[in-house]
Amino acid sequence: MPIKFSFLKLSTWLITGLFAVPLLVVFASLFQFDTQIWTHLIDTVLGSYVYNSLALAISVGLGTAVVGSYLAWFMVNYDFMGKSVLNWLILLPLAMPAYIIAYTYTGMLDFSGPLQQWLRGLLNAPMNAHMLPDIRSLEGAALVMILVLYPYVYLLARTAFSEQSAQFLLVSKLAGLTKFQHIKQVALPLARPSIITGAALAMMEALADYGTVAYFGVNTFTTGIYRTWFGMGNAEAASQLASMLCLFVFVLLWIEKSSRKHHSRYQSRHPSTIKAKTTTSAKSFGILILCLIPAIFGFIIPFIQLAWWSAEYFERDVFIDYLPLLATSLELASISAVLIVSLALTISYCKRKFASRKIALASQFVGLGYALPGVVIAVGVVQVAGFSDIRLNLLTNTLFDWQPGLVISGTIAILVFAYAVRYLSVAMHNTDTGLERIKPNIDEVSASLGASPTKMLKKIHVPLLRASLISAFILVFVDVLKELPATLILRPFNVNTLAVKAYELASDERLIDAALPAVTIVLAGLLPVIFLTMSLEKHKS
Amino acid sequence: MNTTQAITHHRTEAPILSIRKVSLSYGSEAVLNDISINIKQGEISCILGPSGSGKTTLLRAIAGFVPVASGQIDINGERVSDSKAIKPPNERSVGVVFQDFALFPHLTVQQNIEFGLGKLPKAEKHKRAQQYMQIMDIEPLSHKYPADLSGGQQQRVAIARAVAPEPDLLLMDEAFSALDPTLREKVARDVRQIIQKLGLTAILVTHDQQEAFAFADTIVVVANNCLQQFSSAYDLYHKPKTFFVAKFIGEGAFIEGKAFKQEKGWFAKTSLGTLRLPQRLSGELYSSDKTVKILLRPDDVLHDDASPTKAIIEEKHFRGAFIRYQLRLPVTNEKVLCFAPSHHNHAIGETFGIRAEVEHVICF
pLDDT tens-digit map of B211-229: 898 889 999 999 988 899 9
Q: Do the Cβ atoms of A162 and A274 come closer than 8 Å?
A: yes
| Residue B133 confidence (pLDDT) above 80 | yes
CB A150 within 8 A of CB A202: yes
What single letter denotes the amino acid at residue B270? T
All residues of chain B having their beta carbon less than 8 Å from the beta carbon of residue A271 are: 100
Residues 6+ apart with CB under 8 A from A535: none
Option in A168, A170, A267 nearest B65 (CB): A170
Which of A340, A500, A497 minimizes the C-alpha distance to A416?
A340
Kindly list the domain boundaries of chain A, sorted by start residue.
Answer: 1-30+314-493, 43-307
pTM exceeds 0.90 for this model: no
Question: Which amino acid, one-letter code, is at B31?
Answer: V
Q: Looking at residue A541, what is its pLDDT? A: 61
Q: CA-CA distance, A430 to A433, in Å (whole number)? A: 5
How far is C-alpha A523 from the chain's CA centre?
A: 16
How would you label B213-225 residue by residue, b for 16+ Cβ within 10 Å and e otherwise? bbbbbbbbbbbeb
pLDDT of residue A440: 76
Helix (H) / strand (E) containing A88: helix A83-89
- Four-residue CA torsion sign, B281, B287, B290, B294: positive
Closest-CA distance, A190 to chain B, in angstroms, reads 6
Q: Count other C-beta atoms under 10 Å from residue A429's C-beta.
A: 18
pLDDT of residue B309 exceeding 90, the answer is no
E runs forming strands in A78-211: 78-79
Closest by CA position to A515, among listed A311, A305, A310: A310
**What does the pLDDT look like over A494-522, one tens digit per residue?**
888 999 999 988 888 888 888 889 999 99
> pLDDT tens across B262-300, in order?
888 888 888 888 888 887 766 677 777 788 888 888 888
Task: Compute, in degrees rounded to 10, the torsion defined by CA atoms A358, A364, A369, A372.
Answer: -120
- In this structure, the number of other CB atoms found within 10 A of the CB of residue B209 comes to 18
Partner A contacted by B111 (CB < 8 A): no
Cα–Cα distance, A476 to A312 (Å, whole number): 32
Contact B98 A167 (CB under 8 A): yes
B87, B63 Cβ separation under 8 angstroms: no
Confidence (pLDDT) at A540: 65
C-alpha torsion sign, points B107, B109, B113, B114: negative
Fold agreement between A1-30+314-493 and A43-307: yes
Judging by DSSP bridges, how do beta strands B253-262 and B201-206 pair with one another?
A: unpaired
**What CA–CA distances, in Å, run from B182 to B156, B177, B188, B210?**
17, 11, 11, 12
A176 lies within 8 A of chain B by CB:
yes
541 residues of chain A, pLDDT tens digit each: 445 667 888 888 888 888 888 888 888 877 777 777 778 888 888 889 999 999 999 999 999 999 999 999 999 999 988 888 998 899 999 889 999 999 899 888 877 777 877 888 888 877 777 777 788 899 999 999 999 999 999 998 988 898 888 889 889 988 888 899 999 999 999 888 889 988 988 998 899 999 999 999 999 999 998 888 877 777 778 888 888 888 888 888 888 888 777 766 666 555 566 778 888 888 889 999 999 999 999 999 999 999 998 888 777 777 788 888 899 999 999 999 999 999 999 998 888 888 788 888 888 888 888 888 888 888 888 888 888 888 888 888 888 888 777 777 888 889 999 999 999 988 988 888 888 888 777 877 877 887 777 888 888 888 888 888 888 898 899 889 989 989 988 888 888 899 999 998 888 888 888 888 999 999 988 888 888 888 777 766 6
A186 has a chain B CB within 8 A of its CB: yes
Query: CB of B35 within 8 A of CB of B62?
Result: no
Confirm or reject contact between B167 and chain A (CB < 8 A): no
* Partner-chain contact A170 B89, CB within 8 Å: yes
pLDDT digits (tens, 9 = 90+) for A230-248: 777 777 788 888 888 888 8
- Residue type at position B358: V
Q: What is the mean pLDDT of residues B241-264?
A: 87
Around Cβ B22, how many Cβ atoms within 10 Å? 24
Residue B8 has pLDDT above 50, yes or no: no
Q: Do A167 and B102 touch (CB under 8 A)?
A: yes
Q: List, in order, residues 6 or more apart from A77 with CB less than 8 Å away.
A: A161, A274, A276, A277
Q: How far apart are CA B313 and CA A525, in angstroms?
A: 70
Q: Is A493 exposed, middle or buried (0-12, 13-18, 19+ CB in 10 A)?
A: exposed
Of residues B44 and A269, which shows the higher confidence score?
Answer: B44
Q: What is the pLDDT of residue B1?
A: 38
Nearest to A174 among B90, B106, B178 (CB): B90
Strands B253-262 and B291-296: what pairing? antiparallel
- Beta carbons of A268 and B115 less than 8 Å apart: no
| CA–CA distance, B219 with B230 (Å, rounded to integer) | 6
Provide the 8-state DSSP code for A4: P
pLDDT at B10 over 50: no
Cα–Cα distance list, B314 to B310, B319, B324, B330, B336 (Å): 13, 16, 11, 12, 10
> What percentage of residues in chain B have a pLDDT greater than 70?
95
Closest CA to A226 of A35, A461, A487: A487
Sequential DSSP letters for A13-82: HHHHHHHHHHHHHHHHHHHS--HHHHHHHHHTTHHHHHHHHHHHHHHHHHHHHHHHHHHHHHHHHEE-TT
State yes or no: ipTM above 0.85.
no
Q: Which H or E run contains B163?
A: helix B151-163
Single out the residue of B237, B232, B239 nearest to residue B215, CA to CA: B232
For residue A212, list its beta bridge partners. none
| B105 Cβ under 8 Å from any chain A Cβ | yes
Q: Which of B90, B95, B117 sits opposite A173 (nearest CB)?
A: B90
In the predicted structure, residue B29 carries a pLDDT above the cut 80: yes
**B interface mutation test: which of A161, A171, A273 has the most B CBs within 10 A?**
A171
A434 vs A428: CA distance, rounded Å? 10
Cβ B171 vs Cβ B62: under 8 Å: yes
Share of chain A above pLDDT 70, in %: 96
Q: Which helix or strand (DSSP H or E) is residue B254 part of?
A: strand B253-262
pLDDT at B247 over 80: yes
**A377 with A433: CB under 8 angstroms?**
no
- The answer to whether B96 contacts A272, with C-beta atoms less than 8 Å apart, is no
B57 vs A contacts (CB less than 8 Å): none
Residues shown for chain B? 364
Task: Please name the residue of chain B whose CA is at the shortest distance from the CA of residue A170.
Answer: B65
Domain at A43-307: CATH code = 1.10.3720.10
Closest Cα in chain A to B177: A270
CB contact under 8 A, B96 and A170: yes
Class of domain A1-30+314-493: mainly alpha
Structural domain spans, chain B: 13-244, 251-363
Cα gap A104→A272, rounded to integer Å: 45
Chain A contact for B19, CB < 8 A? no
Task: Report the 3 state secondary structure along A286-306.
Answer: HHHHHHHHHHHHHHHHHHHHH
- Partner residue opposite A168 with nearest CB, options B96, B104, B145: B104
Say if residues A7 and A366 touch (Cβ distance below 8 Å): no
Q: Alpha-carbon distance B221 to B57, whole Å? A: 14
Please tell me the distance from the alpha carbon of residue A524 to that of residue A95, in angstroms, as a whole number.
8
- CB contact (8 A) between residue B100 and residue A186: no
Count of alpha carbons within 13 angstroms of residue B331, beta-carbon side:
7
CATH architecture of B13-244: 3-Layer(aba) Sandwich (3.40)
Answer yes or no: do B89 and A270 touch at CB < 8 A: no
- Spell out the SS3 assignment of A431-499: HHHHHHHCCHHHHHHHHHCCCCHHHHHHHHHHHHHHHHHHHHHHHHHHHHHHCCHHHHHHCCCCCCCHH
Burial class (CB in 10 A: 0-12, 13-18, 19+), A276: middle
Distance of CA A42 to the CA centre of its chain: 30
